[in-house]
Structure 1
């Protein structure tokens, strides 16, 4: 395989790439006609055969999710695009929608045709107003060109697309909380079953997919499922956008086949910033367990990262060098999850609050080593006991950071505070550490 495979990102550098004219100049909306020449079930089968797995974090097979829609249900079918990207460190869907919104719109049309939905919603995080306006403009252009509306391309298929601005809560990235927000209620997860495929938006069959998942569909239809499945690994097919941020020379979006390693990506990004070494990193955003320099050669696919004890997630690779205090970083993430908890269930509402209290004291050098076991016990009582995965994500950086950096936690206690504090110079781990 080649190191980089620009497909979704291939046109990002084009002049005014976000316009309909620029998109059509590269063959945009041609995959639509190819899809319309196929039966809807054949489109679903092609996506299944491609091996495309959800690019929003869970990695569930996209075609299989589409196949769950009960076509004998007389209620309308809906497609909902989850564009509520708000995981700390995750930044792939927003630049995709900014640079090439028509890639997403074409994917929405093909996906809606496959599941026989005549109405689709693109739910975008409310804070990114510039993205909302850009996608709205793309939808307007698509309507004017006949790519949306009634009898699209003479196919007899009708589709309306609504761009919905979310209320700006992290919890709305959870698919059922997103549906609650779409219906005008407070964003809180729903009890399942019933699952969205049976009773989703307006209690009707609904498919909810991530932006990158839907945006990948036109290229699969245009080039064939064999083309897509020829990239990646045996069980994690295709390509993906890897977001590198933090202490690398050139942060940004790197589109590559699944299975590439962090070592390769860091080389593409110009290496760790000069004079420093990799300390720890997240493979899929702050809700995934931390990994360290010993995991540089782990294949970045669902199975490889899972075997290393973490999750591929959204491929948000946050890179931290040896100047970073892992305790402080973990505390900041935990404060985020405490703030963003919707409060519906006790383990998350109360648990994240207590995690912040203990972590905050440890970061200041207060308490004893027994508090680390208390912290792990709290995590154990939260994990798997909440309504949704927010609380599970909150405990991931804590348990993994204690696993790999227990000595650093103890150094806070024995030194009376953070050894990386700029106002202090502390002998730790045999070295004089200054921030």
Structure 2
């Protein structure tokens, strides 16, 4: 793991735009699904996944069978995690409001949940039950009445779907599940087929084809984001434990060859200790090849003159995950402007947030923490403005409204007000 001055470091970030061939392929898949519906979904499952799909929808019997395949420790853990996630997100709830003016006018905002949300869950070798909770529960808390999940058919689990995914979905309250994945699943959620009704928003991670499909259908439906590789930055002083830091850096490096894991510290001794500890722990990892490439290509230890300079570096990087491992971590919290999730102190390891604490682990990547937030209840609601203007208010403000309309060259706007002023003004006189 290279040690470099922070002033000389620039993080290489991979933005998933895809090749021309990948984009063309995604467009073809989406058009096939739009034109042929379920038939295209079945044909593409056989062509791309090597799986023959009969009934697209997962049955209640399959969900019940999944419960028999998971062990009790998993079930207990996923249930407690779901309680924590739900409790955290319930605190984010907004309410509609109305403001009665002295003249009788009413201004306000009505908040409603989206009607139908589609959740994409990766399948095959990658199975993330925790992501099911993180995507489904905020939508449920928001009051979304229809949450539908799609996940690719695979060769293992209950009827080709990982049983842990099915159990997590059921625990999160999702019972409408379809065995379809890839760009074709995104097309089905966006435009609908004979079996799958279209959604208003699509959330959840996926491979490059899923990411490109989400980009392609955006506008027909809303999406959560186009997620990049995982990121972690650790800001630490000489009080931090090198073993803890190395373990936390590797917890992200094992995700993806393009994941980034960065330590920022003013301590040369800690920098060297972490470098050695990363090498030691790396040799013992089951996913060593993935983590090794991540550390080599995107990992770094950045040296700074002070923790204040380290905070500046953090804000420039705008990481997905930030750990602050210093003597007084809360002292630096207010200075952090850009980070998806902030973990304070030696016992707040990043996996605590990934799995159990309650805050959402769907976080902004690729530096987008500069302007975006973790997935939350607000992502599953919509707001309508409410305007009830009284006669008194219109007679008072009408001339000003017409002035602004005419300055913009919109005479019909002005006349819509003028006709009321002429009639109501005369009536009042």
TM over 0.5: no
Give TM-score, length-normalised by structure 1: 0.28
